[in-house]
Amino acid sequence: MKRFFLPLLSLCLMAVTGLNGQVTILSQGFEVSCANASNAFYTGCVPGWISTNGTPDIKSDYSGVTPFEGQKYAHMYVHERWDCSPTDRGEGIALNQNFVAGTTYYLSFALRSYPGSTKTVKWVLTGGRANNTGDSNSCSSGEVTPAIMETDEVVWQASNYQSSSWQTFNISFTPTTNHTQLWFRASNYTPSPLNDDILTHLFLDGVGLQYDPNDCMADFEILPGDNCTYYLFNTSTPSSADCPSDCQSPIPVTKWSVTDLQDPYARVVSGNSYNMVFTPSCNGYYMVCLTIEDCTGCVHTTCKYLYVNCTMCTCQPGPDPCVGANDPNSFDSQSKNLTGVEEFSIYPNPATTKVEIETKYQRVSEKPLAIEVFDMYGKVVRTDKLDRDEIRKTLNINDLPAGVYMIRISEDGVMLHTEKLLIGK
């Protein structure tokens, strides 16, 4: 969905909620006064913005072309020199702003280039770029455009962009993971001897950013279990509005997906249960995503990265991704370090009427250790605590139905130990 909203003439970085519930977090006309306009983004003269590479600046007019709005705009100088190595080059700027996974953002901006053809223009969500400068006239390494990382998300791209007049764009995007920066990236580089020395001035103005706040929030915890099994516990929060009378659950719809980031064919494990058990086929990085739809129709998605180093094999591209055997870093050989088995004992397991919890853990905080028992729907069915002078606690579970549960022990909010508990009757 795309929306249009007029950019304001002044700088605005404070979130404001409109009458329609939409939040405006940026309306950017670059109407700032800088002592050193040629290095405005690097010096922090433009609030909320930094220079990712080169020395982007603030202009008030260029070659007699009237700005889109106001009298000042951002200027990025893109120069592919004949004597520089064939590297992706071009100045860039970035907006420091938290972008929440599953939230839809509406971005508007005005763009023009002069006089050459800018080969690539990209807007990229990142986890944060360093404030950096470089000299376009000396093949400086600081002018080299940083590479796109695996965790980045490209939300808009234009190839062979060229326009001597201002053009207004309106886009929307929904991040799949959390980010802390939106990077405005431009480059001239193309592997052709005909384009070894191209000069382009790229101008940006009228940047606006809004979002629709989600009343419901998808969230979950990843708890490691035995034999390289991970328990995905749903901790989502439904909206504050009352559920319809015919709705039996505040969060009736849940959708899980686990993507193997090592696999070029992107194997995906999916499920729609409230909680999910995931057993990876090989070591490496995975992306775990949860989408919820609550009883009021509010939909929200959140994603987290999971690093796996507990199986007998590692992922490799190809039809059979599993290679290797007898991995010295297997879960069994590392289980004490990963789960704190030497510091907590839970018995009997399986249990019927009661469970004993013993600990040798050296306390860090004066606060008691929190004990929580979860059922497979993510509901907390029992809570207790271990005071600082206690080393043993007996939990009465006689009233809990037979099934699979998880016990979690934490200290001042920091998880210390998780363990699967089987209750039989």
Q: What angle do CA 283, 407, 284 make, to 5 degrees?
A: 10
Q: Which of 50, 46, 51, 35 is nearest to 136 (CA)?
A: 51
Per-residue DSSP letters for 144-210? BPPPPPTT-EEEEEEEEE--SS-EEEEEEE--SS-EEEEEEEEE---S-GGGSSEEEEEEEEEEEEE
Centre a 10 Å sphere on the Cβ of residue 33 and count the other Cβ atoms it contains.
Answer: 9
Is the pLDDT confidence value at 72 over 50? yes
Sequence ranges of the domains in the chain: 16-211, 215-339, 340-425
Q: Which of 65, 66, 126, 68 is nearest to 97 (CA)?
A: 126
The pLDDT value given to residue 396: 92
Mean pLDDT, residues 256-282 taken together: 77
Is the pLDDT confidence value at 160 over 60? yes
**At the top level of CATH, which class does the domain 16-211 belong to?**
mainly beta
Name the residue with higher pLDDT: 260 or 183: 183
Contacts for 248 with CB less than 8 Å, ≥ 6 apart = none
The pLDDT value given to residue 126: 92
To the nearest whole percent, how much of the chain has pLDDT over 90?
Answer: 16
The pLDDT value given to residue 385: 93
If pLDDT is split at 50, 70 and 90, which confidence band does 69 have? low
> What would the pLDDT profile of 79-122 be if each residue is shown by its tens digit?
776 677 667 778 899 999 888 877 888 999 999 888 777 778 89
If pLDDT is split at 50, 70 and 90, which confidence band does 330 have? very low
For residue 371, the cross-strand partners are 384, 409
Strand 380-386 versus strand 392-396 pairing type? unpaired
Which structure tokens are listed for 133?
A: 């400068």
Per-residue DSSP letters for 311-354? SS-EE-SSS--EE-SS-TT-HHHHHHHHH-TTTEEEESSSBSSE
Could you check whether 215-339 and 340-425 share the same CATH topology?
yes
Mean pLDDT, residues 118-140 taken together: 82
Rounded to whole angstroms, how far apart are CA atoms 422 and 406?
A: 9
> If DSSP codes are grouped into helix, strand and coil, which group holds residue 300?
strand
- The region of weakest confidence among 164-173, 311-320, 358-367, 402-411 is 311-320
> What would the pLDDT profile of 188-202 be if each residue is shown by its tens digit?
765 555 555 677 888
Mean pLDDT, residues 59-86 taken together: 77
Chain mean pLDDT for the chain = 77
Is the pLDDT confidence value at 300 over 70? yes
When the candidates are 2.60.40.10, 3.90.550.10, 3.40.50.1950, 3.90.100.10, the CATH number that belongs to 215-339 is 2.60.40.10
Is the pLDDT confidence value at 215 over 60? yes
The pLDDT value given to residue 194: 54
Are the C-beta atoms of 156 and 123 separated by less than 8 Å?
Answer: yes
CATH code 3.40.50.300 for 340-425: no
Are the C-beta atoms of 105 and 153 separated by less than 8 Å?
Answer: no
If pLDDT is split at 50, 70 and 90, which confidence band does 261 have? low
Report the predicted TM-score, pTM, of the whole model to 2 decimal places.
0.54
Mean pLDDT, residues 202-226 taken together: 86
Rounded to whole angstroms, how far apart are CA atoms 147 and 144?
A: 9
The pLDDT value given to residue 151: 85
Is the pLDDT confidence value at 378 over 80? no
| Identity of the highest mean pLDDT range in 23-27, 47-51, 362-366, 416-420 | 47-51
- Cα separations (Å) of 414 from 254, 366, 391, 410, 418? 26, 13, 18, 5, 12
Is the pLDDT confidence value at 333 over 50? no
